[in-house]
Amino acid sequence: MLLLVLGAFLDGLTLNATGTLRAQDAELVAFSDTARRSLFRSRVDATTAETIAGLDEVDSVTGLGINQVIATTPGGDVVDVAVVGYQQATSRVPAPPEPGEAIVDARLEEVADVGVGDTLALGRGQAPVTIVGFVSDTAFQQQPSVWTDPATWREVMAANVAGSALPTGVFQAALVEVADDAQPGAVAEAVDAATGATDTVTRQTAILALPGVQQQQRTFTGIIAVTFAVAALVVALFFALITLERVRLYAVLEALGARPRELLAGVAAQAVGVAAGAIVIGGVVAVGFVALVPADIPVRLEPVRMAQIAGGTMITALVGSLASLRRILGIDPAQAIG
């Protein structure tokens, strides 16, 4: 259960921090070359975007901007959100809504009890936007996203942060879709060479550049690895004790003609059985735990992570059971039976 819960926290933190970028279809993200791959420091103007779009290896270029503000709900609740200004639909997000409207992440529905037709007041300027739809898994830095047209995003940004007003056509990053026969790495180099003012990376690299993402992954991966190591030691001790108690039984079986590999197969089968039981019980408890966690806490049980932990648990149990290998191979039936 502990491994599953740790994995749920890792996935919850990572996915809820990166949803906005994962929702994009573009293979590349172009930042200004002085921004150190930070969306908040980056500025890409219309001239730069046109230069990128003029490359043969590029299919399309659109702008993206994100501003973290507070949103006031009709019920008076104040919620931290990420306002996203964008220009083009993706496979997961519809086309930009009309000015004064917004498509919001479903997580906001859970934490603030809002629905289609409700009006949110965004930022210090209390810019009103009416919710016209929901999308899922698009949060940014643990905050539900609010997807708007570029003009609304600029209005919110200008009112929320002094001196941050952006001219029309300027975004924080350019999303670059490459041609079908082009290699993203080569296109990124071509973009930077053509503009002389961009730092273009793959979408995955841009995701890893988000504050805290790599640090969280390293921390939780380390904790999970240590937990697996401890589990292996516990299993090894468990089977060492069982083998010690069953020395006479194994000696009798060997005297009756059982081969050591058959005895080891029996121990391995026991290890698999114990691990399977632990996986089932731990899975049920973990699912119940996640269901009880408040909606504003980033915890998610992902099937891929559960499968990885289940497989790792099986391997750990088998490796731990090998601790009894030497003792089983060294059993002398005559001496053990006496």
Q: Is 58 helix (H, G, I), strand (E, B) or coil?
A: strand
Residue 338 has pLDDT above 60, yes or no: no
pLDDT at 239 (0 to 100)? 72
Q: Are 274 and 86 in contact (CB under 8 A)?
A: no
Contact predicate 71/205, CB 8 Å? no
319: confidence class by pLDDT, cuts 50, 70, 90 = confident
Query: How much is the average pLDDT of 162-182?
Result: 88
Question: Where does the pLDDT of residue 337 fall: very low under 50, low under 70, confident under 90, or very high at 90 and above?
Answer: low
Which whole-number Å values give the CA distances from 191 to 59, 198, 263, in the listed order? Answer: 12, 8, 63
| Digit-coded pLDDT (tens) for 1-34 | 788 888 888 999 999 999 999 999 999 999 999 9
Average pLDDT over residues 310-325: 79
Q: Which of 199-203, 283-287, 318-322 has the highest mean pLDDT?
A: 199-203
**Per-domain boundaries in the chain:** 2-208, 213-337
Q: What is the pLDDT of residue 161?
A: 72
Burial of 335 (0-12, 13-18, 19+ CB in 10 A): exposed
Give the model confidence (pLDDT) of 255-303 as tens digits: 666 666 776 777 778 788 888 888 898 889 888 888 888 877 888 888 8
pLDDT at 331 over 70: no
pLDDT digits (tens, 9 = 90+) for 210-255: 999 999 999 999 999 998 888 888 877 777 777 666 666 666 666 6
Q: Mind listing the pLDDT tens digit for each residue in 114-161?
A: 999 999 999 888 999 999 999 999 999 999 999 999 999 999 988 877
DSSP-assigned states of every residue in 100-164: TEEEEEHHHHHHH---TT-EEEETTTTEEEEEEEEESS--BTTB-EEEE-HHHHHHHHHHHSTT-
C-alpha span between 103 and 125 (Å, rounded): 19
| Claim: this prediction has a pTM higher than 0.75 | yes
Q: What percent of the chain has pLDDT over 90?
A: 55
Q: Which residue has the tokens 């408040």?
A: 294
Q: Which of 191, 211, 193 is nearest to 202 (CA)?
A: 191
In contact, 304 and 2? CB cutoff 8 Å: no
Segment holding 15, helix H or strand E = helix 2-22
How far apart are the C-alpha atoms of 278 and 274, rounded to whole Å? 6
User: What pLDDT, on a 0 to 100 scale, did the predictor assign at position 244?
Assistant: 65
